[in-house]
Amino acid sequence: MHPQQSASQDYLASVAARLAADECRTWWEDWAGVPVLVGRRADFKWRWMGTRLHLFTVAAAVQEITIPTIEAFTDQVMAYAKKTKGGLPAGFQNGLASFPVLISDRVDPAAVRWAEAQQRQKWASLSRPVVVDSTQQYVGTYHGTPVIGLAYSSYFEQKARQYFYG
């Protein structure tokens, strides 16, 4: 295995361990020949107006990360979370959140800027894409305070620190 590939795989293994330590249910899937780590948890808080938030973390090591790559992966993860969640539809006292995570030793800086620029959202579904440059050991994701999903912002920040930095 190439040293950079090993760095990406090591980072992916560390994310798997951090998800498990946070009591997420984790499993692996094959997405078009790419091994994908999936982590899932659900949390309920009264300060979220009595809603349950289902958080999906979906991570994969890939050859290269560009804007189209992370954008397509983000859309795919959001659709996957919606399909996989089950129960009441999102928006009925429960919401969906996701961290689509791509890891590579070849990262277009524009892809990092795209991930850091804003939180993505669809009806009752929020996403914070994460781009990891395993060579530079740099993690790029949104850290702002959005208007939509404001109640969940500190939760996203806490989980991002817990899962991706360290």
Tell me the per-residue pLDDT of 5-51, one tens digit each, with 9 for 90 and over. 689 999 999 999 999 999 999 999 999 999 999 999 988 665 556 57
pLDDT score of 85: 74
pLDDT score of 3: 45
Average the pLDDT over 104-122 and give the result: 94
Among 90, 159, 155, 147, residue whose Cα is nearest residue 119: 147
Cβ atoms < 10 Å from Cβ of 91:
12
User: Tens digits of per-residue pLDDT, 130-145?
Assistant: 999 999 999 999 988 7
Give Cα separations from 42 to 61, 90, 98 (angstroms).
Answer: 25, 13, 11
CB 38 within 8 A of CB 28: yes
Q: State the residue for tokens 């996989």.
A: 84
CB 131 within 8 A of CB 65: yes
Average the pLDDT over 153-160 and give the result: 89
pLDDT band at 58 (very low <50, low <70, confident <90, very high): very high
pLDDT score of 2: 44
